[in-house]
Structure 1
């Protein structure tokens, strides 16, 4: 076998391996990272989910999109929480992605701060920069402020590295305060908020 013949086989192998990788990788990356939703799609789903109380949703979404881009997943569900200095929050719902399907999800978390009251909420969480659907299963920390009696619509931003989760809550109850805490997302229900 000549050196030039061996070299051309290597070149052929490299060319074939490069072509196979370029064909396989875009599909794999497409399936792994959820595609982004438009503002109109999120607002429309929010109106259906929250009903008439969602008038401030478009304005809040516009501000969030300027800061983090377009969400590539969202969660619709319900939650309940209570606090007196220390608090807890539990929720459940479904996470929706354009190209990775729908996934049942649970969340829970503690908080501490100047916070008192109890609430039950319908919650829409917008998820920004989610690299893949499994990346939601971690803790997202932030500061949560609440001020409503009977009902209200509130926005919060929680993050973990590059991923941002923005809960939009429409709730009933009485809650007043400012607290530091986190939400932990899990595939199964648990009573342990930590």
Structure 2
């Protein structure tokens, strides 16, 4: 084959080759999007759960999406906590993964730090890198800061292996401080926070 024929053959095959890769990439992105929640889906779920949105809540969602993108799931629940340097937190809710039935989850955990007060909160947690609901049942360490004086809003990240949780809490009570601890997610309610 002469050089001219080789050039024409490459000129014909190259666009076909590039089109095949572009279609494969678009297919992978569509598949990824079908297993995750869009920003609009999460905003609607948050708005329904918290009975409206505030500017602070919208800014928190923007930050989480900027940091981690589209979540595979979310947990909607309630929790209560108290602290006097050493704190405890107990909660329950439902884990929603895209395309799966909701799974009941419970969480409890200790914390220690400059933290004092009591609070009850609604909890909306974005869940990343979780494809099997059974993998939620483990301990997730994290740092937490709270400022509840009658009402308040807080968010932190918890990470275990590749799974990332981003709990958003809005609550009532009198609590102020910062602490380090973990939450243990379980299938059944436990009184022992460890």
- Whether contact under 8 Å (1:53, 1:170) holds in the other structure is no
Q: How big is the shift at 1:53? A: 5.1
What 5-or-longer segments of structure 2 have no aligned partner? 1-30
- Asked if 1:79 corresponds to 2:104, the answer is no
1:6-85 alignment, distance < 5 Å: 35-52=35-52, 54-85=54-85
- Whether contact under 8 Å (1:47, 1:54) holds in the other structure is no
Structure 2 Cα separation of the partners of residues 135 and 52 of structure 1:
31
Structure 1 Cα separation of the partners of residues 102 and 88 of structure 2:
26
Structure 2 Cα separation of the partners of residues 77 and 150 of structure 1:
20
Q: Corresponding residue for 1:98?
A: 98
Q: How big is the shift at 1:84? A: 0.3
Q: How big is the shift at 1:102? A: 0.5
Q: Corresponding residue for 1:189?
A: 189
**For residues 51-94 of structure 1, what are the alpha-carbon distances to aligned partners after superposition, in whole Å with 9 as ceiling and x for unaligned?**
23543222211211221121111011100000000010000011
- Whether contact under 8 Å (1:43, 1:57) holds in the other structure is no
Structure 1 Cα separation of the partners of residues 158 and 72 of structure 2:
16
- Whether contact under 8 Å (2:119, 2:148) holds in the other structure is no
Q: Corresponding residue for 1:116?
A: 116
Secondary structure of the equivalent of 1:52?
coil
**For residues 162-192 of structure 1, what are the alpha-carbon distances to aligned partners after superposition, in whole Å with 9 as ceiling and x for unaligned?**
1111110110001110100101100111101
- Whether contact under 8 Å (1:139, 1:184) holds in the other structure is yes
Instruction: Identify the range of structure 1 (58-67 vs 113-122) with the bigger mean alpha-carbon deviation.
Output: 58-67
Q: Corresponding residue for 1:132?
A: 132
Structure 1 Cα separation of the partners of residues 163 and 107 of structure 2:
16
TM superposition score normalised by structure 2: 0.80
Structure 2 Cα separation of the partners of residues 52 and 61 of structure 1:
14
Structure 2 Cα separation of the partners of residues 137 and 54 of structure 1:
31
Instruction: Identify the range of structure 1 (63-72 vs 174-183) with the bigger mean alpha-carbon deviation.
Output: 63-72
Q: Give the total of aligned pairs.
A: 162
**For residues 22-46 of structure 1, what are the alpha-carbon distances to aligned partners after superposition, in whole Å with 9 as ceiling and x for unaligned?**
xxxxxxxx9xxx9210011111111
- Whether contact under 8 Å (1:121, 1:169) holds in the other structure is yes
Secondary structure of the equivalent of 1:101?
coil
Which contiguous aligned blocks of 4+ residues in structure 1 show a shift greater than 6 angstroms? none
Q: Corresponding residue for 2:12?
A: none
Instruction: Identify the range of structure 1 (99-108 vs 57-66) with the bigger mean alpha-carbon deviation.
Output: 57-66
Secondary structure of the equivalent of 2:52?
helix
Q: RMSD over aligned Cα, in angstroms?
A: 1.5
